[in-house]
């Protein structure tokens, strides 16, 4: 795509600047993914930047809307750097694919094997993962006292890797990883098991995993408006279990509604969305973000 892609990104940045009613933006960020037109992330970042007096533009770089193939992810990241972007947030389905074109990874991103934040600094493309910290902070805030003996996690993609890392750091005794692609689940279980002493394993029977688990986490896209449904039969749930879903649009997924009806403690994806954005904003700007303010920005962006 080359120069034409750089030109496209420059034009999109200029158009966004004009729509915002000014030309003083100093920080330009993009969100890269598929099906992201309803994302609240741009509004959350831009409102926090205004609160701090920072000129800031946040663009949606939606591969579905732009008509780009997945293979263009490397070209787009390179073009964004040339076009003067300060960084990118990376979401589904590129959190793992983006790694191959980056110059350096943070220790956490390297351990997880996925990035959701890219910072362009000093001629280098730096990869970070703020998802893991975001999930952990959200969980600690809302799920105090939740049993962590055994957890079943659905999804072994980039988000699943970040959540698995967070769960193990929080002291989960045993983690079952389940995915529609068994090889992907095995790879994640092997990598996390090596880091955390073999307490991570795949489990071939979703029903058995749910029955055995104290808590269940959904990191798959199932439950989004584009992918309705639940990742497993919710009739397997019982009231003493807790259920977390990292999806935040919609806030109340079918899984969480069913779990709450049964009597389970539940955790929606909104907290993770806010916390990961706090850390990403700080990486992009070098300024301290206010989590409470960004939570308010998140709601205002609905």
SS3 state of residue 175: strand
SS3 state of residue 109: helix
- Cis preceding-peptide flag for 93 (omega within 30 of 0): yes
Burial of 19 (0-12, 13-18, 19+ CB in 10 A): exposed
How long a stretch of residues is the chain?
302
Catalytic residue (one of 17, 26, 95, 226): 95
Q: Confirm whether 95 is a catalytic residue.
A: yes
- Cis preceding-peptide flag for 76 (omega within 30 of 0): no
DSSP state of 135: H
Q: What is the end-to-end Cα distance of the chain in Å, rounded?
A: 34
**Sheet with 117-121, side-by-side order of all strands:** 56-62, 27-33, 87-90, 117-121, 124-128, 104-105
| Cα–Cα distances in angstroms (integers) from residue 155 to residues 97, 119, 186, 188, 248, in the given order | 16, 26, 11, 10, 16
Active site residues: 95
């Amino acid at each position: 795509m080359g120069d034409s892609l750089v030109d496209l990104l420059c034009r999109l940045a200029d158009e966004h600047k004009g729509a915002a009613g000014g030309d003083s933006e100093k920080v330009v960020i993009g969100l890269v993914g598929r099906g992201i037109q309803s994302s609240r992330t741009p509004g959350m970042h831009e409102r926090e930047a205004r609160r701090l007096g920072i000129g800031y533009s946040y663009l949606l770089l939606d591969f579905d809307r732009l008509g780009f193939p997945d293979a263009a992810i490397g070209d787009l990241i390179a073009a964004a750097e040339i076009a003067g972007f300060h960084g990118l947030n990376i979401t589904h389905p590129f959190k793992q694919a983006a790694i191959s074109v980056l110059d350096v990874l943070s220790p956490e991103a390297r351990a997880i094997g996925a990035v959701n934040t890219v910072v362009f600094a000093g001629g280098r493309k730096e990869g970070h993962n703020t998802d893991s910290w975001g999930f952990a902070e959200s969980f600690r805030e809302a799920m105090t006292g939740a049993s962590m003996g055994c957890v079943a996690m659905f999804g072994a993609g980039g988000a699943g890797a970040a959540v698995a890392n967070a769960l193990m750091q929080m002291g989960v005794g045993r983690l079952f990883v389940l995915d529609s692609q068994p090889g992907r689940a095995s790879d994640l279980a092997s990598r996390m098991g090596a880091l955390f002493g073999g307490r991570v394993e795949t489990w071939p029977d979703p029903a058995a995993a749910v029955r055995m688990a104290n808590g269940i986490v959904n990191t798959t896209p199932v439950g989004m408006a584009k992918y309705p449904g639940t990742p497993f039969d919710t009739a397997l749930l019982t009231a003493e279990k807790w259920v977390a879903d990292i999806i935040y649009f919609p806030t109340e997924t079918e899984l969480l509604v069913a779990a709450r009806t049964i009597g389970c403690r539940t955790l929606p994806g909104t907290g993770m969305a806010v916390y990961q954005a706090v850390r990403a904003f700080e990486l992009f700007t070098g300024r301290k973000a206010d989590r409470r303010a960004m939570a308010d920005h998140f709601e205002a962006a609905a």
